[in-house]
C-alpha cells in the first residue's frame, strides 16, 4: 500500500476535519497461463490454440476524512486493465452508510461465491466459457460484482450481527426506464466458540430491457459461510427466473455451489469447489453443468503469490461439452 498525504489546511478550514486526508494506492498485477481440452465445437480441431496467456492489472485509489460531527466521508476509484472502472463516494455515520457509484452494491457486498470472489484463480478455457452462458456460473447471474450502471446503496449499521442493504441501479439515459435494477440483501454474522459463521439472503430484480422485451429477470440467492480452525465451508443457492410480458416464466436457472477452503499453513491455502446448475424450462436442449474446481495459493512472501487451479466440467446442452482446464499464475500485490 502506498499513502500519499494530501494538503489538508483548506479542508480543515471548510469542513471541521479532525483527521488528515490521505490517498491510499493499492492494487496488483497478475500474469497467468491456461491450457484446456474440451469436446465442444470445432475450434480446436480446426487448428485454434488450446492454450493462452492472460494478464490483469488493477489500481485502487481510496481516501477518507472524519469530521468533528462524527461523519466519515470518502471515495474509491478502481481501474482495471484500462477497460473497467469502478467508483464510489460514501458517507458513514451512526445511521449506517450511503454509497454512490458502481462498486459496493447489495449483491456485490453480501454474496459469497468462492468461484467469483477471487479466492482462487479460476478459468475454464476457450469453448466452455461460451457454452456455459445458459447455466451462468455467477450466483446472481449477472451484475453483482459492480457494473457500468450507477447506483445508490444504503447499508444499515450492524445491529447485533444483522446488517441490511438495499440498492437501486439506474440503467442510464440510453436504456428504457423499466431496465432499472433493485437489490435487497440481509446478512447475519456471529460466532460459536472458536467458530464463526454468516448467513445471508439476496433478491435482485431487473425489468425488461426495452419496456416490452419480455426479459425481466428476478434472482434469489441465499447461503452460509462457516469457519472453524483452518477450515472454511461455503454453500450457496441461486435461482434465476426470466419472465415475458404476460408474467409467464421463459427460463429458470437453478444453481448450487459447495466449497471447502483449507489453510494448510501460513503460506498455503487450498480449495475445492463443486458447482451444479441446470435450466429447468428448456425441454429441448436441457442444459446442465457439473463442474469441479481445485485451487491452490502459495504465498512466497507478503505481496508475492503463486496460484494454480484445475477445472473439470461436464456440460449437456445444444452441444454437449466436457473437458478440463489447468491454470498457473503469479500475482504481485502493492
pLDDT by 10s per residue, the chain, length 334: 455 545 444 444 444 444 556 889 999 999 999 999 888 755 555 566 789 999 999 999 999 999 989 999 999 998 888 777 888 999 999 999 999 998 888 888 888 888 888 789 988 887 787 888 888 876 554 454 445 678 999 999 999 999 999 999 887 766 666 678 899 999 999 999 999 999 999 998 887 776 666 778 888 999 999 999 999 999 999 998 888 877 788 889 999 999 999 999 999 999 999 999 999 898 898 999 999 999 999 999 999 999 999 999 999 988 888 999 999 999 999 9
CATH number at residue 35: 2.40.160.10
For residue 23, give the C-alpha cell.
490517498
Q: What share of the chain is helix, strand, coil (3-state, %, to 5)?
A: 5, 60, 35
Beta strands in 180-267 (DSSP E): 181-192, 195-206, 216-228, 231-243, 249-263
> By residue range, what is the domain housing residue 87?
2-333
How many domains does the chain fold into? 1
Amino acid at each position: 500500500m502506498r499513502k500519499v498525504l494530501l494538503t489538508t489546511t483548506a479542508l480543515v478550514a471548510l469542513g471541521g476535519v479532525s483527521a488528515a486526508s490521505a490517498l491510499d494506492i493499492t492494487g496488483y498485477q497478475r500474469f497467468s497461463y491456461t491450457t484446456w481440452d474440451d469436446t465442444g465445437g470445432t475450434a480446436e480441431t480446426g487448428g485454434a490454440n488450446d492454450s493462452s496467456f492472460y494478464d490483469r492489472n488493477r489500481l485502487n485509489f481510496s481516501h477518507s476524512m472524519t469530521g468533528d460531527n462524527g461523519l466519515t466521508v470518502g471515495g474509491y476509484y478502481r481501474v482495471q486493465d484500462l477497460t473497467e472502472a469502478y467508483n464510489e463516494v460514501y458517507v458513514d455515520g451512526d445511521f449506517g452508510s450511503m454509497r454512490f457509484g458502481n462498486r459496493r452494491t447489495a449483491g456485490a457486498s453480501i454474496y459469497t461465491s468462492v468461484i467469483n470472489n477471487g479466492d482462487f484463480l479460476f478459468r475454464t478455457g476457450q469453448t466452455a466459457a461460451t457454452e456455459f452462458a445458459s447455466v451462468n456460473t455467477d450466483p446472481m447471474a449477472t451484475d453483482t460484482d459492480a457494473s457500468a450502471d450507477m447506483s445508490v446503496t444504503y447499508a444499515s449499521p450492524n445491529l447485533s450481527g444483522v446488517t441490511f442493504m438495499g440498492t437501486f441501479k439506474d440503467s442510464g439515459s440510453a436504456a428504457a426506464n423499466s431496465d432499472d435494477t433493485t437489490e435487497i440483501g440481509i446478512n447475519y454474522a456471529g460466532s460459536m466458540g472458536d467458530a464463526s459463521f454468516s448467513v445471508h439472503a439476496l433478491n435482485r430484480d431487473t425489468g425488461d430491457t426495452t419496456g416490452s422485451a419480455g426479459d425481466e429477470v428476478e434472482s434469489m440467492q441465499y447461503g452460509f459461510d462457516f469457519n472453524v480452525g483452518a477450515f472454511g465451508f461455503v454453500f450457496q443457492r441461486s435461482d434465476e427466473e426470466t419472465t415475458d410480458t404476460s408474467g409467464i416464466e421463459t427460463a429458470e436457472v437453478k444453481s448450487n455451489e459447495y466449497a471447502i477452503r483449507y489453510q494448510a499453513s501460513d503460506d498455503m491455502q487450498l480449495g475445492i469447489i463443486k458447482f451444479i446448475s441446470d435450466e429447468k424450462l428448456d425441454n429441448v436442449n436441457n442444459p446442465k453443468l457439473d463442474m469441479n474446481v481445485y485451487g491452490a495459493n502459495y504465498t512466497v512472501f507478503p505481496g508475492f503469490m503463486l496460484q494454480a487451479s484445475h477445472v473439470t466440467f461436464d456440460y449437456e446442452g445444444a452441444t454437449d461439452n466436457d473437458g478440463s482446464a489447468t491454470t498457473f499464475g503469479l500475482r504481485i500485490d502493492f
